[in-house]
Amino acid sequence: MNRHIDEATTTGVTFASFPERALEQISNESIVVFGVPANSTLPRQAGCANGPRAIRQSTMSALSCYFNSPSKTVVSLETGKATSFRSDAVGIDLGDLSDCNELSTEALQRIAHLTNAVVDEGGLPVLLGGDGRALQGLIEGLKSSVAPFGLLVISNRLDLPSVSDLPGVAVSALLPADSSSENCSLLVLGVNGVQPYSNMKSMHHLHGKVVSADEIHEQGTQVALDAIQQFAIQNDRIVCVIDAEVLDTGHAAGTPGLNVGGLTPLQLIEILSESNLSPQLSGICVSNVAPSLDARGHSQYAAAEALLAVLGERLFKEVPL
Amino acid sequence: MTLAMDTTEELPLSMQPVPSFFGASIGDIEDLSEGKIAVTGIYCDHFSGGKPGARYAARQLRYASWSSLAHEPTPPASDMIIDVGDLNVFPTEPAKTMSILEEQSRRIHQTGAKLLALGGDYSVIPALVLGQLQATQDSRLQIIRISRRLDAATIPDPRKTPLARACATRQLGEYCGGASSVTLLGVSDVTALEEYDYFSGAFVRSARQLTPESDKLVDEIVAGLAHPNVTFYLSVDIDVLAWPSICTNSPYLGTGLTPEQLIMLIEALGKLPIAGADVTGFIPDLDVSGSSASATVARISRCVLEAMSQEVSRCL
Amino acid sequence: MPLRTAPLPRMAGHLSFMRSNRAKAEELQPGTLAVIGVPLESSESIMSGARFSPLAIRETSVYFGWYANPQFSNPTDVNARDAIDKSSINERLFDLGDVPVVGLARSEADEHITHTIEKVFARGATSVVLGGDNTIVAPIARGITHGIGNGKTVAFIQIGGRMPGTTCAKSESRSSSVPLDALLIDGNIKLADTTILAPVGHPTAEFAQEMTDSGAKIISSRQLNDMDSDAITDLAFTLSNRELPVIVNLDLSSVAAELHGMSDRPTFDGMSMELLQQVLVAIGRAPIVTLIVTGLYPTTNGLSIVKTGQRLIVTALLGYIRARLGLFNVPDSDTN
CATH number at residue C168: 3.40.800.10
pLDDT-based confidence at residue B166 (cuts at 50, 70, 90): confident
CA distance C136 to C50: 11
Q: What is the pLDDT of residue A42?
A: 84
Chain A residues with CB-CB distance to C223 below 8 A: 77-78
Let me know if residue A9 belongs to a domain. Answer: no
Q: What is the pLDDT of residue A220?
A: 96
pLDDT tens digits, residue range B241-258? Answer: 987 778 887 776 667 888
**End-to-end alpha carbon distance in chain A:** 46
| DSSP label at residue B212 | S
| Domain extents in chain B | 31-315
Let me know if residue C37 belongs to a domain. Answer: yes
CA distance A219 to A230: 17
B 255-294 near C (Cβ less than 8 A): 287-289
Give me the residue from C165, C223, C301 closest to A77, CB to CB.
C223
Chain C residues with CB-CB distance to B88 below 8 A: 4-8
Task: Specify the pairing of strand A238-243 against strand A281-287.
Answer: parallel
pLDDT tens digits, residue range B170-188? Answer: 999 999 988 889 999 998 7
Cβ contact, residue pair A69, C220, below 8 Å: no
Chain B residues with CB-CB distance to C20 below 8 A: none
Report which of C168, C167, C98, C164 is spatially closest to residue C136, judged by C-alpha positions: C98
Q: Has residue C6 got a pLDDT over 90? A: no
Q: Are C255 and C273 in contact (CB under 8 A)?
A: yes
pLDDT tens digits, residue range C116-131? Answer: 999 999 999 999 999 9
Let me know if residue A219 belongs to a domain. Answer: yes
Q: Are C323 and C284 in contact (CB under 8 A)?
A: yes
Cβ contact, residue pair C204, A302, below 8 Å: no
- Backbone angles phi and psi of C250, in degrees to 5: -100, 110
Residues in chain A predicted with pLDDT less than 70, given as ranges, are 1-12, 177-181
Q: What is the pLDDT of residue B45?
A: 83
Q: Is C55 exposed, middle or buried (0-12, 13-18, 19+ CB in 10 A)?
A: buried
DSSP notation for A136-183:
HHHHHHHHTTSS--EEEEESS-SEE--BTTBPPEEGGGGS---TT--S
Q: How far is CA B246 from the centre of its chain?
A: 17
**C150–chain B Cβ distance below 8 A for any pair:** yes
Strands (E) in chain A, as ranges, are 31-36, 73-75, 82-85, 91-96, 124-129, 150-154, 159-160, 169-170, 186-191, 209-212, 238-243, 281-287, 316-319
Q: What is the pLDDT of residue B5?
A: 36
Let me know if residue A215 belongs to a domain. Answer: yes
Give me the residue from C257, C268, C300 closest to A295, CB to CB.
C300
Q: What is the pLDDT of residue B70?
A: 61
Residue A186, domain extent? 15-319
Let me know if residue A284 belongs to a domain. Answer: yes
Task: Give SS3 for C194.
Answer: strand
Q: Are C154 and C189 in contact (CB under 8 A)?
A: yes
Cβ contact, residue pair B29, C2, below 8 Å: yes
pLDDT-based confidence at residue C79 (cuts at 50, 70, 90): confident
Cβ contact, residue pair B68, C3, below 8 Å: no
Q: Do chains C and A touch (3 or more CB pairs under 8 A)?
A: yes
Chain C residues with CB-CB distance to A65 below 8 A: 162-163, 201-204
Residue of C nearest to B1 (CA): C243
> What are the C-alpha distances in Å from C299 to residues A24, A155, A319, C261?
46, 32, 42, 11
Report which of C171, C233, C169, C166 is spatially closest to residue C197, judged by C-alpha positions: C233
Let me know if residue C8 belongs to a domain. Answer: no
Cβ contact, residue pair C265, A321, below 8 Å: no
CA distance C73 to C86: 9
CATH says B31-315 is which class? Answer: alpha beta
Let me know if residue A5 belongs to a domain. Answer: no
Number of domains in chain A: 1
CA distance A282 to A272: 16
- Residues of C near A (Cβ–Cβ under 8 Å) read 162-166, 169, 201-209, 218-220, 222-223, 257-258, 261-262, 265-266, 268-269, 300-302, 305
Q: What percent of chain B shows pLDDT beyond 70?
A: 82
Chain B residues with CB-CB distance to C118 below 8 A: 5, 11
**B229–chain C Cβ distance below 8 A for any pair:** no
A298-311 and A51-62 helices, crossing angle to 10°:
70
| CA distance, residue A228 to nearest chain C CA (Å) | 23
* Residues with Cβ within 8 Å of residue A179, at least 6 apart in sequence: A205
| DSSP label at residue B18 | S
Residue of C nearest to B16 (CA): C98
Q: What is the pLDDT of residue C126?
A: 95
Q: Are A55 and A300 in contact (CB under 8 A)?
A: yes
B 117-156 near C (Cβ less than 8 A): none
What residues form DSSP beta bridges with C130?
C37, C293
Chain A adjacent subunits, 3+ CB pairs under 8 A: C
Task: Specify the pairing of strand C82-83 against strand C76-77.
Answer: antiparallel
CA distance B177 to B141: 9
pLDDT-based confidence at residue C140 (cuts at 50, 70, 90): very high
pLDDT tens digits, residue range C248-290? Answer: 999 999 999 888 877 777 889 999 999 999 999 999 999 999 9
Q: Per-residue pLDDT averaged across B80-91, rounded? A: 92
Chain C adjacent subunits, 3+ CB pairs under 8 A: A, B
Q: Has residue B304 got a pLDDT over 90? A: yes
* Residues with Cβ within 8 Å of residue C227, at least 6 apart in sequence: C219
What residues form DSSP beta bridges with A126?
A33, A284
CA distance B288 to A234: 56
Number of domains in chain C: 1
Among B8-12, B126-130, B272-276, C24-28, the minimum mean pLDDT is found in B8-12
Report the helix count and the strand count for chain A, using DSSP H and E. Answer: 9, 13
Q: Has residue B215 got a pLDDT over 50? A: yes
**End-to-end alpha carbon distance in chain C:** 34
pLDDT tens digits, residue range B122-134? Answer: 999 999 999 999 9
| CA distance, residue C208 to nearest chain B CA (Å) | 31
Pairs of residues, one from chain A and one from chain C, whose beta carbons lie less than 8 Å apart? 93
CATH code assigned at A151: 3.40.800.10
**B58–chain C Cβ distance below 8 A for any pair:** yes
